[in-house]
Amino acid sequence: MLAGSQALFEAVVVPHRSLTRRGVYCLIAVVWAFSSLITFFCWRLGAWPVAGFNGAEVGFALLLLHWHSESAKRESEILLLSESGLVVRRTSRSGRREEKVLPVQWLRVVLEERRGRVPALLLVAHGVSEEVARALGEEEKRDLAEALAAAFDRMRHPRFDNPQLAVTSPD
């Protein structure tokens, strides 16, 4: 967020992961157990070279699964709306961070429908177009688009609660 600015809206977008940490460990245990059983039977039949190949194959698969689950932890996108701009902070799987500040004066939210695909959520202003929330599904993108549009509306049309200006009915 820009210095001295108060956040009016904040959204954190992270990719959906179907397995929890415990689920990943359970999957690793099942793959390892199944592989050990196959290796044992092949060894008993006299096909002992299978053990080395099977061990290497399962080790590689488990390494890739672990790498995938660890790298997914870092990936995120943060949208921060303040009076001075909309900050889009992205962190890639590798941990690289990128930040863009978009002017909010003429910024609007556009859901671009794409045939057979999830719509694109675009933030559009004069000469600026930025796609955000690529990791979300259709329903989540529509919810985020509504929330962002409402936040822009609240920022551009503030409501002041001043009791001195309130209309009172004569008693």
CATH number of the domain encompassing residue 115: 2.30.29
Query: Are 79 and 146 found together in one domain?
Result: yes
Instruction: At 51, list the tokens.
Output: 């053990």
Q: Determine the Cα–Cα distance for residues 169 and 171; give it in Å rounded to an integer.
A: 6
Cβ burial of 164 (10 Å; 0-12, 13-18, 19+) is: exposed
Scored b (16 or more CB within 10 A) or e, 82-117 reads beebbbbbbbeeeeeeeeeebebeebebebeeeeee
Q: Is residue 106 in a domain?
A: yes
Q: 49-72 and 21-44 are packed helices; what angle lies between their axes, rounded to 10 degrees?
A: 170
Distance CA 167, CA 110 (A): 38
Residue 58 lies in a domain: yes
The pTM assigned to this predicted structure is 0.68
The domain in which residue 97 lies consists of 9-15+75-156
Same domain, 50 and 87: no
How is residue 46 annotated by DSSP?
T
pLDDT, position 5: 66
Q: 37-93 pLDDT, tens per residue?
A: 988 988 888 888 888 888 888 889 888 887 877 777 778 899 999 888 899 999 988
> Do 32 and 54 belong to one domain?
yes
How far is the C-alpha of 25 from the C-alpha of 135, rounded, in Å?
A: 24
Answer whether 55's CB lies under 8 Å from 10's CB.
no
Q: Which residue has the higher pLDDT, 26 or 2?
A: 26
Instruction: Flag whether pLDDT at 165 surpasses 90.
Output: no
